[in-house]
């Protein structure tokens, strides 16, 4: 058991320390303090500790002194009032600096510590005034502090100016134990919410050069009172604004910074290039822009040219000039499903630029394709079609050509038809360019990409917010109207949508071969159509959504499908819808994921007034709904080596075709046909591109695709070698295979035995292709190109008379393959400063490969609808830059053989060549946002015809094509 120190300690233990530092001066308080101290020392020596304490306290009140504090503590210790002794020892220690004296005090504290309950109070921040139990008992010092008490429970109170008081109830103190109490003092603050016109502006308080406390918008916690907010941002004048901060309250202030500007002048060797400063569109070259001072990122872009980005320093009141030379580069996405230069694409590619689309005001995709290398057009006045490189059989409705809208297939699900005229869309105003890929493309797109691919590329994300309206007329009195709106929220998100419609009364068509009783050989007023289109796209970073809905109703003037020529009330109606979602995140610098999911619909309706009973028309319908999904990974696995691996699938939820005869009272006659089924397609593919050097590139690809309709999988390989033997030279060696699976229509359609029977045993068509292409770049704008190719087509599907019933037709695989040998040449000056020139020639010779036979039905003549010679010249001249551009196009398509290609058919004939000269004058008035075009198509009014299919009367071999027509287009845009 620890004993308390003896109150009768030896006299030598008394440490009476005189205040040597007190100056000897004639001062009443000092004298009295000295006297009180001497009296206290005397009483202490006599052992009268209470009297001594009284005198020491009086002396300390008169003149505080650390030595007197020590003697007060010793007196309390002798009186066994240990908590009070502890308090005064602690005060003495806090003011003592002499090491020896501090050691004595610390020893005293250790000596009495077993007899006190110690309380150590620490606060954050320190300096808080401490109270015990009640505030009116007076303070016990400031934190940090060690206090001593008798055992028990106490209340600790801490107060600090500018902070909320803190009270701790029921602190339990025990004898001989030091109890810690740690207090956090919360400042008394008010909140200021700062808004402004410049996000990210720096906010300082009271000192313009002080630390940044926040960025607009922000919330600041500040001490109460009048404060000054200092706002600053690069390119803006600093701002100081006072605000009264109330305790425990929120004030909101809105501050507006005034920009400091300089002038940026941007010019380029190409007009109308988009100029962006810090991601915000500000105009088109040449542009004069007021920009905020500081470092600014200037971006200049135009379709078909490499984008240029530069950082400039804008100085207040000064002018910064940028004179740029844009480097032209034609990019294509359809050849490899990734953006790449045309020279690097493993296919034969042509680009119809946006500048050409605007200069010629092409009304349809077919007109835009006219004159493109290797392509020829046909129009049976039901559906316009295109043929590629010597093969475009009448009646195939383009089902060997794949049409894409920004990479999404647009062919239907009935006959796999490709729509390229007013049956596809009302106008081309929303397009940035058209990509044409010649040759087999099944390795990337599967069935349908047999002869070529046409990809329609919409205008890009970089275009600014605005509204456009267009009125136009062309061809046979077509009247069109269009409205488009675009909102570009920022560099990563936006949306655009357009709606358009067209109507045409058509033209009178001379069909003298069909003249007879009741028909004088001219179809009058039965060639009209009307259509409507809804298009759009929305995007946010890697996510995008596009939609397309188009419908066309077209009168049938020429007696197709065994109808009465020239009789009103026979028509076809097609509706095609697409909703596609894409998510293409970049996973890293060398990996990207490409996913898409689409919902598709196609509907067909027709009323056919047949020759045998026009009062009871035939009605045919088709409804197709399918979903399509794809996932693909693009990887750069090593320098110069890129891989793509993907999977694709389709599931056709509904494919229902019907055919019926309906009387005028709408009662069905007993000749109905209905076929409804579902089917699926699944595919996997991989591509690899290796560039071991800048002069050599190797591309290989393979696709395997399974079709439930034929119960088998089909392969599609492709291999390409691209060599650059010298600067400006480019050699492509390409080979590949493609296929076309018979469509639902070809497999299962019949019209109740009226004209056609089903053909469920059809085999897929195949084509093997090989090609050599060499191009030479002349300067920065000219290119000369030559190519040669060979295509071997087998198992081709064609309409033939049924062997069981010659009165009916059916689809059959022809026994004779077709071999096409061809060559192409082109000299082209790309669009630069409004100038453009292109001259091309294509030779294509298609022949049946047949063995000798004595049977007439096995003998084959010439491949129908395959002109051997194609020639085209196009040129554009800026008469007055921007205001007037004159463009002309001359195309020549050689003679074609008609459909009678078998030995048992009537004699096969050949059409005359077609020579079409088109001229257009276009321009824009930027200040008013007006763009216009006027022109004449088929200036010569050249009357030429193209072969038609066996779906027409045997007497009708060909259909007259469009004669002279006029166009006018006016667009007003606001931005």
> How far is residue 752's CA from residue 661's CA, in Å, rounded to a whole number?
9
**How many Cβ atoms from other residues are within 10 Å of residue 612's Cβ?**
9
Burial (Cβ within 10 Å: 0-12, 13-18, ≥19) of residue 759: buried
Looking up residue 290, the CATH number of its domain turns out to be 2.60.40.1120
> How far is residue 61's CA from residue 57's CA, in Å, rounded to a whole number?
6
CB 846 within 8 A of CB 818: yes
Please give the mean pLDDT across all residues of the chain: 90
Query: Same structural domain for residues 571 and 592?
Result: yes
Rounded average pLDDT over 164-184: 89
> Which residue carries 């551009």 as its tokens?
885
Query: Same structural domain for residues 291 and 204?
Result: no
> How far is residue 752's CA from residue 271's CA, in Å, rounded to a whole number?
61
Is residue 4 pLDDT above 60, yes or no? no
Tokens, residue 571: 């028509």
Comparing 28-37, 169-178, 755-764, 898-907, which segment has the lowest mean pLDDT?
28-37
Q: Which residues does residue 890 pair with via DSSP β-bridges, in sequence order? A: 873, 917
What is the per-residue pLDDT for 23?
A: 45
What is the per-residue pLDDT for 671?
A: 57
3-state secondary structure 173-226: ECCCCEEEEEEECCECCEEEEEEECCCCCEEEECCCCCCCCEECCEEEEECCEE
Query: Same structural domain for residues 83 and 207?
Result: no
What is the per-residue pLDDT for 965?
A: 96
Rounded average pLDDT over 681-694: 96
Rounded average pLDDT over 952-970: 95
Burial (Cβ within 10 Å: 0-12, 13-18, ≥19) of residue 913: middle
> How far is residue 82's CA from residue 131's CA, in Å, rounded to a whole number?
19
Tokens, residue 60: 């300390």
**Domain-embedded: residue 585:** yes
Is residue 433 pLDDT above 50, yes or no? yes
What is the per-residue pLDDT for 852?
A: 52
Q: Please state whether beta strands 797-801 and 782-794 pair in parallel, antiparallel, or not at all (unpaired).
A: unpaired
**559-583: pLDDT as tens digits:** 998 899 999 999 999 999 999 999 9
3-state secondary structure 13-25: HCCCCCCCCCCCC
What is the per-residue pLDDT for 680?
A: 97
**814-841: pLDDT as tens digits:** 889 999 999 999 999 988 888 999 999 9
**102-120: pLDDT as tens digits:** 888 888 888 888 888 888 8
Is residue 874 pLDDT above 70, yes or no? yes
What is the per-residue pLDDT for 663?
A: 52
Q: Provide the number of structural domains found in the chain.
A: 4
**255-299: pLDDT as tens digits:** 998 888 888 999 888 778 899 998 889 888 888 988 888 888 999
Tokens, residue 57: 């306290």
> How far is residue 112's CA from residue 44's CA, in Å, rounded to a whole number?
19
Q: Which of 77, 142, 145 is nearest to 113 (CA)?
A: 77
Query: Same structural domain for residues 281 and 194?
Result: no
Is residue 10 pLDDT above 70, yes or no? no
CB 23 within 8 A of CB 33: no
**Domain-embedded: residue 139:** no
What is the per-residue pLDDT for 18?
A: 39
**Domain-embedded: residue 723:** yes
SS3 at position 649: strand
Query: Same structural domain for residues 250 and 268?
Result: no
Q: Which residues does residue 470 pair with via DSSP β-bridges, in sequence order? A: 482, 971
Tokens, residue 865: 């609808």
> DSSP strand E in 278-379: where?
280-284, 287-292, 294-301, 308-314, 319-324, 331-332, 340-341, 348-353, 375-379
> How far is residue 169's CA from residue 154's CA, in Å, rounded to a whole number?
7
DSSP codes joined into one string, 775-800: EEEETTTEEEEEEEEEEEEES-EEEE
**Domain-embedded: residue 698:** yes
Comparing 5-9, 470-474, 495-499, 787-791, which segment has the lowest mean pLDDT?
5-9
Domain boundary among 88, 114, 140: 114
Query: Same structural domain for residues 731 and 874?
Result: yes
Is residue 27 pLDDT above 80, yes or no? no
> How far is residue 717's CA from residue 54's CA, in Å, rounded to a whole number?
112
**How many Cβ atoms from other residues are within 10 Å of residue 881's Cβ?**
11
SS3 at position 409: strand
> Which residue carries 């929220």 as its tokens?
489
CB 443 within 8 A of CB 769: no
> Which residue carries 């440490």 as its tokens?
15
Tokens, residue 569: 């009330």
Query: Same structural domain for residues 726 and 779?
Result: yes
DSSP one-letter code for 326: P
CB 965 within 8 A of CB 464: no
**46-93: pLDDT as tens digits:** 888 888 888 888 888 888 887 888 898 888 888 888 888 888 888 888
Query: Same structural domain for residues 206 and 347?
Result: no
What is the per-residue pLDDT for 853?
A: 54
SS3 at position 162: coil
**Domain-embedded: residue 538:** yes
> How far is residue 933's CA from residue 923's CA, in Å, rounded to a whole number?
7
For residue 251, which phi and psi values (nearest 5 degrees)?
-115, 140
CA angle, residues 406, 411, 416, in degrees to nearest 5:
155
Domain boundary among 114, 147, 173: 114
Q: Which of 783, 787, 882, 885 is nearest to 838 (CA)?
A: 783
Name the packing angle between helices 66-78 and 49-62 (round to 10°): 160
Query: Same structural domain for residues 753 and 686?
Result: yes
**Domain-embedded: residue 513:** no
Give the domain range for residue 11.
Answer: 1-114
> Which residue carries 């026994």 as its tokens?
815
Looking up residue 242, the CATH number of its domain turns out to be 2.60.40.10
Is residue 21 pLDDT above 50, yes or no? no
Domain boundary among 324, 347, 376: 324
**How many Cβ atoms from other residues are within 10 Å of residue 892's Cβ?**
18
What is the per-residue pLDDT for 773?
A: 98
Query: Same structural domain for residues 336 and 416?
Result: yes
Q: Which of 574, 553, 456, 549 is nearest to 502 (CA)?
A: 553
Query: Same structural domain for residues 444 and 312?
Result: no
CB 424 within 8 A of CB 435: no
**Domain-embedded: residue 166:** no
Q: Among positive and negative, which fits the CA dihedral 707, 624, 388, 902?
A: positive
Residue 765, CB-side half-sphere exposure with 13 Å CA sphere: 29
- Is the pTM here over 0.75, yes or no? no
CB-based contacts of 949, cutoff 8 Å, min separation 6: 380, 393, 394, 395, 396, 799, 899
Is residue 704 pLDDT above 80, yes or no? yes
Rg, Å, the chain Cα set? 46
Query: Same structural domain for residues 796 and 874?
Result: yes
Rounded average pLDDT over 862-872: 97
> Quick one: CA torsion of 899, 901, 902, 907, rounded to 10 degrees?
90
Looking up residue 623, the CATH number of its domain turns out to be 2.40.170.20
CB 681 within 8 A of CB 705: yes
For residue 947, which phi and psi values (nearest 5 degrees)?
-65, 150
> How far is residue 870's CA from residue 842's CA, in Å, rounded to a whole number?
5
What is the per-residue pLDDT for 352?
A: 95
> How far is residue 677's CA from residue 585's CA, in Å, rounded to a whole number?
36
**Domain-embedded: residue 534:** yes
**309-360: pLDDT as tens digits:** 989 988 888 888 888 878 777 788 888 888 888 899 999 999 999 999 999 9
Q: Please state whether beta strands 543-555 and 586-588 pair in parallel, antiparallel, or not at all (unpaired).
A: unpaired
Q: Which is more confident, 199 or 719?
A: 719
Residue 68: its H or E element:
helix 66-78
């Amino acid at each position: 058991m620890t004993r308390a120190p003896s109150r009768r300690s030896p006299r030598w233990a008394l440490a009476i320390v005189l205040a040597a530092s007190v100056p000897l001066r004639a001062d009443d308080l000092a004298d009295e303090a000295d006297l009180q101290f001497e009296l206290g020392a005397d009483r202490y020596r006599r052992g009268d500790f209470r009297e001594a304490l009284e005198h020491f306290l009086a002396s300390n009140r008169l003149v505080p002194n650390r030595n007197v504090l020590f003697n007060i503590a010793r007196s309390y210790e002798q009186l066994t009032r240990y908590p009070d002794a502890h308090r005064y020892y602690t005060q003495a220690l806090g003011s003592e600096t002499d090491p020896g004296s501090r050691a004595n005090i610390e020893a005293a504290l250790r000596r009495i510590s077993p007899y006190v309950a110690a309380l150590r109070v620490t606060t954050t921040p320190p300096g808080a005034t401490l109270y015990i139990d009640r505030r009116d008992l007076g303070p016990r010092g400031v934190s940090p502090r060690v206090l001593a008490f008798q055992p028990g429970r106490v209340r600790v109170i801490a107060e600090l100016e500018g902070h909320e008081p803190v009270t701790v109830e029921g602190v339990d103190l025990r004898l001989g134990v030091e109890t810690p109490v740690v207090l956090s003092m919360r400042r008394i603050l008010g909140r200021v919410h700062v808004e402004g016109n410049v996000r990210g502006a720096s906010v300082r308080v009271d000192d313009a050069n002080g630390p940044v406390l926040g960025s607009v918008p922000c919330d600041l916690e500040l001490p109460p009172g009048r404060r000054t907010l200092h706002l600053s941002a690069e390119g803006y004048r600093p701002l100081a604004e006072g605000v009264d901060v109330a305790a425990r309250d929120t004030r909101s202030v809105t501050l507006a910074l005034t920009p400091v500007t300089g002038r940026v002048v941007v010019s380029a060797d190409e007009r109308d290039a988009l100029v962006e400063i810090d991601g915000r569109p500000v105009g088109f070259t040449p542009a004069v822009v007021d920009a905020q001072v500081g470092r600014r990122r200037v971006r200049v872009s135009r379709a078909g040219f490499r984008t240029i980005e530069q950082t400039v320093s804008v100085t207040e009141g000064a002018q910064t000039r940028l004179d740029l030379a844009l480097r032209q580069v034609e990019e294509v996405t359809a050849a490899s499903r990734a953006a790449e230069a045309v020279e690097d694409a493993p296919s034969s590619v042509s680009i119809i630029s946006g500048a050409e689309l605007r200069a010629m005001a092409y009304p349809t995709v077919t007109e835009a394709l006219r004159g493109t290398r290797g392509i020829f057009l046909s129009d049976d006045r039901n559906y316009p079609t295109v043929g590629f490189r010597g093969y475009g059989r009448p009646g195939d409705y383009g089902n060997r050509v794949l049409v894409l809208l920004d990479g999404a297939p647009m062919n239907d699900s009935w006959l796999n038809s490709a729509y390229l005229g007013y049956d596809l869309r009302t106008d081309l105003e929303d397009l940035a360019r058209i990509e044409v890929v010649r040759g087999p493309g099944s390795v990337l797109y599967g069935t349908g990409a047999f002869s070529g691919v046409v990809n329609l590329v919409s205008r890009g994300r970089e275009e600014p917010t605005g509204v456009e309206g267009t009125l136009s007329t062309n061809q046979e009195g077509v009247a069109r109207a269009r409205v488009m709106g675009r909102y570009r929220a920022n560099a990563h998100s936006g949306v655009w949508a357009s709606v358009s419609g067209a109507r045409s009364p058509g033209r009178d068509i001379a069909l003298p071969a069909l003249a007879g009783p009741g028909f004088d050989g001219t179809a009058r007023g039965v060639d009209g159509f009307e259509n409507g289109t809804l298009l759009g796209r929305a995007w946010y970073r890697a996510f995008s959504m596009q939609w397309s809905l188009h419908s066309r109703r077209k009168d049938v003037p020429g007696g197709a499908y065994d109808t009465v020529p020239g009789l009103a009330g026979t028509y076809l109606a097609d509706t095609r819808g697409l909703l596609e979602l894409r998510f293409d995140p970049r996973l890293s610098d060398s990996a990207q994921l490409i996913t898409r999911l689409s919902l598709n619909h196609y509907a067909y309706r027709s009323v056919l007034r047949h020759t045998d009973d026009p009062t009871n028309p035939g009605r045919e319908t088709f409804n197709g709904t399918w979903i399509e999904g794809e996932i693909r990974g693009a990887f750069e696995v090593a320098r110069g080596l890129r891989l793509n691996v993907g999977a694709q699938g389709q599931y056709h939820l509904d494919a229902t075709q019907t055919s019926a005869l309906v009387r005028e009272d709408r009662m069905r006659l007993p000749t109905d046909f209905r076929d409804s089924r579902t089917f699926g397609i699944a595919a996997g593919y991989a591509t690899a591109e290796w560039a071991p050097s800048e002069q050599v590139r190797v591309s290989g690809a393979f696709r395997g695709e399974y079709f439930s309709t034929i119960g088998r999988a089909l392969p599609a390989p492709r291999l390409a070698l691209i060599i650059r033997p010298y600067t400006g030279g480019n050699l492509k060696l390409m080979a590949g295979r493609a296929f076309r699976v018979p469509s639902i229509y070809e497999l299962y359609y019949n019209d109740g035995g009226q004209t056609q029977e089903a053909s469920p045993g059809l085999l897929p068509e195949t084509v093997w292709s090989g090609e050599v292409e060499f191009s030479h770049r002349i300067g920065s704008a000219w290119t000369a190109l030559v190519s040669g190719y060979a295509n071997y087509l087998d198992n081709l599907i064609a309409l033939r008379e049924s062997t069981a019933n010659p009165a009916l037709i059916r689809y059959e695989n022809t026994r004779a393959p077709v071999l096409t040998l061809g060559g192409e040449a082109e000299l082209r000056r790309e669009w630069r400063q409004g100038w453009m020139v292109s001259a091309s020639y294509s030779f294509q010779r298609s022949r049946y490969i047949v063995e000798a036979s004595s049977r007439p039905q096995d003998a084959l003549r010439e491949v129908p609808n395959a002109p051997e010679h194609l020639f085209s010249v196009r040129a554009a001249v800026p008469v007055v830059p921007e205001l007037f551009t004159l463009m002309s196009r001359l195309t020549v398509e050689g003679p074609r053989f008609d459909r009678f290609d078998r030995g048992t058919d009537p004699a096969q004939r050949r059409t005359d060549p077609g020579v079409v000269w088109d001229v257009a004058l276009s321009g824009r008035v930027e200040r008013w946002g007006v763009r216009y075009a006027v022109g004449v198509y088929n200036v010569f009014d050249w009357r030429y015809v193209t072969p038609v299919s066996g779906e027409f009367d045997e007497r009708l071999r060909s259909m007259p094509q469009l004669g002279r027509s006029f166009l006018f287009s006016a667009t007003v845009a606001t931005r």
